[in-house]
Structure 1
Amino acid sequence: MEEPTPPARRRGRPPKSEGRATQEHLLDAALTLFARQGFAATTVRQIAAAVGVRDSAIYGHFAGKQAIYDALFAAAGPASFDALRIDVDRLVESGPREAVPELVRLVMEGWASPRTRRFTSVLLREGTGGGGLGGLAAVIEEARDRLSEPFRRWQEAGLIRAELDPRQVVWELFAPLQVPRMLHLHAEATDGDLAAAQRLVDDHVAFFLSCVVPSGREN
């Protein structure tokens, strides 16, 4: 009995799912090379070879090596309003005692992912993305502006102390999270490191809420 003839591969662009898979492979390959030999010593050709594609195939996904680094940095950098997919109305309705721990959980969950932990180790050695320190500062300021919205509305409802600047409240919530992240959420993190990071985060969130929520408020 003859073997069935496999269906012919369609010409043209690969399916979107295949394109996304290639992009993910490129990010992982680049991250491995950045960690092993540094950003400067890594070439586009090496990244392509690690994935098994031609050099030119990379440019269908990224403008170049720096763009790959910037994409990794975007996922590992400061808390992003868009990355967190925040529903402000839902947060406001939940109240700070429920919503703040959930916000922090989302941030730490992203930072604790294997790829982000690996890139954190690279980030400590290589520095910021293509925008440099100015680009990093701009991302932080945008996050403060956009994440301050639920805190402002909680203030209007009397759920957050009225004398506090909402943008500063956002800073006081998220900036200290860098400590457990840098101490424990690195490429070689063990289960003990992850547990230690969680303890620091839980203590910080409890203290933060005790400082910003007026006494006697339950939500």
Structure 2
Amino acid sequence: MWLTKLSERLLNNVVTETSQTRPRGRPPKSGGPATRDLLLGAALDRFARQGFAATTVRQIAADTGVRDSAIYGHFASKQAIYDALFEEAGPASFEALGIDVASLCAAGPRNAVPELVARVMDGWSEPRARRFLSVLLRDGTGDGGPGGLALAIEAARDRLQEPFLQWQRDGLVRSDIPARQLVWELFAPLQIPRLLHLRADTGDSDLAAARALVEDHVSFFLKCVITPERIN
């Protein structure tokens, strides 16, 4: 499912990149979303080449052909630009994934877990998220550094444990393992297919390999955590 969506998005991304022009000066309001996307792309190029600390707002503005002041109509600071990229490629969150916690709890683990993982992999498979991965590993959360990345991971574990807590109360998943640990056991192994196969130059074979690893992991995870009486 997420592989099909990615193929469509990759095609749309190619069409967009070949058709966009870079306006000079302050863009009209109607061009806001396109300019914002250009700023993110230019910032990502700079962060990848020279790092977060060495990149300036002026450089990003020059790369996109807009005035420095025009950037602040889209982002409050350089860190805000980084945060937007981090939201796409960083630790999963309900907000970034557009998931309602109550709906997730009601769906049950057998349906909700594969959907949740698919949405995470969709986001991580986006071209910009794949390019940002190397930046993320080096710079963490920008000014927060790698330590900030560790805090973001812990915050995600706190948030994502909510459905597992409910499923434990409902007797749907094992209760002898803390909910936060279940979140870790679900998401930590996803970093392996991500690091191995979701690079900036990823091709169809890499995407297929990542998908196979993810599907095997989700199947194994559910067999391990769903209560025995619920399996049959």
State the TM-score, normalizing by the size of structure 1. Answer: 0.85
Aligned to 2:10: none
Alignment partners' CA distance in 2, 1:191 and 1:201: 15
Q: 1:127 to 1:143 in 2, by over 3 A?
A: closer
**Partner SS state of residue 130, structure 1:** helix
**Quick check: 170-179 or 88-97, which moved more?**
88-97
Pairs within 5 Å for 1:203-218 = 203-218=216-231
Report deviation, 1:38: 4.0
Identity of aligned residues (%): 68
In the alignment of these two chains, the number of paired residues is: 207
Q: Cα deviation per residue 1:172-213 (whole Å; 9 max; x = unaligned)?
A: 111111111111111011111111111111111011111101
Q: Normalized against structure 2, the TM-score is what?
A: 0.80
Q: Distance in 1 between matches of 2:230 and 2:176?
A: 16
Match of residue 137 from structure 1? 150
Are residues 1:193 and 2:194 paired? Answer: no
Q: Helix, strand or coil for the counterpart of 1:179?
A: helix
Change (3 A) 1:214 1:136: same
Q: Is the 8 A contact 2:94 2:101 kept in 1?
A: no
Is 2:196 the counterpart of 1:183?
yes
Alpha-carbon contact 2:94-2:100 (below 8 Å) kept: no
2:174 equivalent in structure 1: 161
**1:121 and 1:66, CA in 2 relative to 1: closer, same or farther beyond 3 A?**
same
Contact kept, 8 Å, 1:91 with 1:99, in 2: the verdict is yes
For structure 1, the residue ranges without an aligned partner over 5 or more in a row are 1-11
5+ residue gaps, structure 2, are 1-25
Question: Kindly tell me: are residues 51 and 20 of structure 1, through their superposed partners in 2, closer, same or farther at Cα, counting changes over 3 Å?
Answer: same
**Cα distance change on mapping 1:122 and 1:91 into 2, 3 Å:** same
Q: Let me know the Cα RMSD of the aligned residues.
A: 2.2
Task: Please report how far the alpha carbon of residue 127 of structure 1 lies from its aligned counterpart in structure 2 after TM superposition.
Answer: 4.0
Displacement of 1:81 in angstroms is 2.0
Q: Which amino acid aligns with 1:177?
A: L
Is residue 150 of structure 1 aligned with residue 150 of structure 2?
A: no
Give, in angstroms, the shift of residue 161 of structure 1: 1.0
Asked whether the equivalents of residues 33 and 47 of structure 1 are also in contact (C-alpha less than 8 Å), the reply is yes
Structure 1 ranges of 4+ moved more than 6 A = none
Rounded Cα–Cα distance in structure 1 between residues aligned with 2:61 and 2:40: 10
Aligned AA (1:156): R
Q: Any idea what SS the aligned residue of 2:228 has?
A: coil
Equivalent position to 2:105, from 73, 92, 109: 92
Q: 1:1-219, aligned counterparts within 5 Å?
A: 14-15=28-29, 17-218=30-231
**More helix, by proportion:** 2
The Cα of 1:41 is off from its aligned counterpart by 4.7
Q: Which has the larger radius of gyration?
A: 1
Task: In structure 2, give the amino acid aligned to 1:164.
Answer: I
Alignment-mate amino acid for residue 172 of structure 2: L
Q: 1:125: Cα distance to partner?
A: 4.1
Superposition deviation, residue 134 in structure 1:
3.2
**2-structure distance, mates of 1:68, 1:106:** 23
